[in-house]
Chains A and B, each alone.
Chain A
Amino acid sequence: MRLKELNLRSKIPPMAVLGLIGLIFVVIVDKFLSAYITSVISFIFLYMILAVSLNITNGFTGLFSLGHPAFMGVGGYIASLLILPVFRKEFFLPELPQWLATQQWSFFPAIVMGGLIAAIVALIIGYPVLRLKDHYLGVATIGLIFIVKVILKNNEQYTRGALGLNGLEFKTSIWWIYFWLVITVYVAWKLKFSSYGRTMLGMKENEMACSCLGSNVTALKIMAFVIGAFFAGVSGGLWAHLTTVITPDSFSPSLAFNLVVMLVIGGTGSISGSLIAAGGISLLIEYLRPLEEALGMYGLGQILISVVLLFVLIFRTRGLLGSSELKFLQKEV
Chain B
Amino acid sequence: MYITELIINGLIQGSLYALIAIGFTMVYGILRLINFAHGDVMMIGAFLTIGLLKINLPWQISMLLILLVGGAVGFTIDKVAFRPMRGAPQVTGFIASLALSLLLQNLGILLFSAQPRNFFLPEFFRKTTLVFGLEVRYLSFVIVFSTFILLTILLLFVKKTKLGIAMRATAENLQVARLMGIRVNTTIMVAFVIGSGLAAYSGMLWGGRYGQVDPLMGFLPGLKAFVAAVIGGVGSIAGAAIGGYILGFSEILFVGLLPVGMSGYRDAFVFGLLIIILLFLPNGILGTSEEVRA
Given contacts A143-B274, A303-B103, A306-B103, contact A313 B268 (CB under 8 A): no
A229 surroundings in chain B (CB, below 8 A): none
Instruction: Evaluate contact between B92 and A317: CB separation under 8 angstroms.
Output: yes
- In Å, the complex CA distance between A317 and B93 comes to 9
Interface of B is mostly: helix
Instruction: Evaluate contact between A309 and B264: CB separation under 8 angstroms.
Output: no
B278 surroundings in chain A (CB, below 8 A): 132, 136, 139-140
- In Å, the complex CA distance between A232 and B37 comes to 28
Which of A64, A139, A144, A313 is the one whose CB lies under 8 Å from B85? A313
B95 surroundings in chain A (CB, below 8 A): 260-261, 264-265, 309, 313
- In Å, the complex CA distance between A154 and B258 comes to 15
Within 8 A of B (CB), among A87-139: 128-129, 131-136, 138-139
In the complex, whether A153 has a CB less than 8 A from a CB of chain B is: yes
- In Å, the complex CA distance between A209 and B96 comes to 30
Instruction: Evaluate contact between B88 and A303: CB separation under 8 angstroms.
Output: no
Q: Which residue of B lies closest to A315 (CB)?
A: B84
Instruction: Evaluate contact between A150 and B268: CB separation under 8 angstroms.
Output: yes
Instruction: Evaluate contact between B271 and A147: CB separation under 8 angstroms.
Output: yes
Min CB gap A179→B, angstroms = 30
In the complex, whether B283 has a CB less than 8 A from a CB of chain A is: yes
B84 surroundings in chain A (CB, below 8 A): 314
Which of A131, A146, A209, A310 is the one whose CB lies under 8 Å from B268? A146
A209 surroundings in chain B (CB, below 8 A): 294
What are the interface flags for A276-299 relative to B under an 8 Å C-beta threshold, 1 for contact and 0 otherwise?
Answer: 000000000000000000000111
Q: Which residue of B lies closest to A322 (CB)?
A: B89
Q: Which residue of B lies closest to A314 (CB)?
A: B84
In the complex, whether B156 has a CB less than 8 A from a CB of chain A is: no
What are the interface flags for A132-171 relative to B under an 8 Å C-beta threshold, 1 for contact and 0 otherwise?
Answer: 1111101110111011011101100000000000000000
In the complex, whether A257 has a CB less than 8 A from a CB of chain B is: yes
Classify chain A's interface size.
35 or more
A313 surroundings in chain B (CB, below 8 A): 85, 88, 92, 95-96, 99
Within 8 A of B (CB), among A17-66: 64
A144 surroundings in chain B (CB, below 8 A): 271, 275
B9 surroundings in chain A (CB, below 8 A): none
Instruction: Evaluate contact between B89 and A318: CB separation under 8 angstroms.
Output: yes
Interface of A is mostly: helix
Which of A135, A147, A307 is the one whose CB lies under 8 Å from B234? A135
Min CB gap B79→A, angstroms = 12
Instruction: Evaluate contact between A261 and B88: CB separation under 8 angstroms.
Output: no
Which of A131, A139, A261, A317 is the one whose CB lies under 8 Å from B231? A139
Which of A133, A134, A206, A297 is the one whose CB lies under 8 Å from B110? A297
Instruction: Evaluate contact between A139 and B89: CB separation under 8 angstroms.
Output: no
Instruction: Evaluate contact between B107 and A146: CB separation under 8 angstroms.
Output: no
In the complex, whether A300 has a CB less than 8 A from a CB of chain B is: yes
Min CB gap B137→A, angstroms = 31
Min CB gap B288→A, angstroms = 13
A300 surroundings in chain B (CB, below 8 A): 106, 110
In the complex, whether A216 has a CB less than 8 A from a CB of chain B is: no
Min CB gap A252→B, angstroms = 11
B120 surroundings in chain A (CB, below 8 A): none
In the complex, whether B135 has a CB less than 8 A from a CB of chain A is: no
A306 surroundings in chain B (CB, below 8 A): 99-100, 102-103, 106
B59 surroundings in chain A (CB, below 8 A): none
11 contacts across the A-B interface (CB closer than 8 A): A135-B230, A139-B230, A139-B278, A142-B223, A260-B94, A264-B95, A300-B110, A302-B102, A313-B88, A313-B95, A318-B88
Known contacts A129-B279, A302-B103, A306-B102; 11 additional CB pairs below 8 A are A64-B91, A134-B90, A135-B32, A142-B271, A149-B267, A150-B268, A260-B98, A310-B81, A317-B89, A317-B92, A318-B92
